[in-house]
């Protein structure tokens, strides 16, 4: 059995709302820096923070460095930041580098299928996925991902049993 987050997120993550009941994530593909296609199911066994962002979205751009710091501070967490829109893989890589987020893997979804399948009505949208591959929380809008209490929260998530 895989445990789910059992406690509410800290104030720095006030936008991260726990789901009443975990739900399956959509089986939608996105592309990495080498052009390979991936699906969220490939990350099972780990907590994943899926972040849907775009280069034109100012709040998205402002939170990229915080997501990069969170990824570095919590090695067991997979931060999957997917650029939704028309940017190429090369442009996305350069953009992440220019915004102190080069530690994040380059992922793009040029047909915005992830955005549609998660019912995103605004960006950024962040979805916390448990090791079973189920959505357990989501945040609409930017959050303080690199705040000390946010990092402590992600470090405290139960490990896979």
- Alpha-carbon span 112 to 60, nearest angstrom: 16
Q: Which residues of the chain have pLDDT under 50?
A: 1-4, 161
CATH number at residue 40: 3.40.30.10
This prediction's pTM: 0.94
Helix (H) or strand (E) holding 47, with range, is strand 47-53
Each residue's pLDDT tens digit, 35-71: 999 999 999 999 999 999 999 999 999 999 999 999 9
Number of compact structural domains in the chain: 1
In a domain, 70, yes or no: yes
- Alpha-carbon span 96 to 83, nearest angstrom: 10
For residue 74, what are the domain limits? Answer: 11-156
pLDDT of residue 161: 43
What secondary structure letter does DSSP report for 84?
A: E
- 104 and 71 Cβ atoms separated by less than 8 Å: yes
In a domain, 150, yes or no: yes
In a domain, 5, yes or no: no
Nearest 5°: phi and psi at 86? Answer: -95, 5
């Amino acid at each position: 059995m895989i445990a789910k987050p059992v406690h509410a997120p800290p104030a720095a993550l006030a936008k991260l709302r726990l789901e009443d009941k975990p739900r399956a994530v959509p089986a939608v593909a996105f592309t990495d820096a080498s052009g390979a296609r991936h699906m969220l199911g490939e990350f099972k066994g780990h907590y994943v923070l899926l972040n849907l962002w775009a280069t034109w979205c100012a709040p998205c751009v402002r939170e990229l460095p915080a997501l990069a710091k969170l990824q570095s501070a919590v090695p067991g967490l997979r931060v999957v930041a997917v650029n939704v829109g028309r940017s190429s893989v090369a442009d996305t890589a350069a953009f992440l580098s220019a915004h102190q987020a080069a530690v994040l893997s380059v992922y793009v979804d040029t047909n915005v299928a992830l955005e549609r399948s998660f019912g995103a009505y605004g960006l950024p949208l962040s979805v916390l996925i448990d090791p079973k591959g189920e959505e357990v929380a989501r945040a609409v809008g930017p959050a303080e991902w690199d705040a000390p209490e946010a990092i402590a929260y992600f470090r405290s998530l139960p490990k896979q049993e």
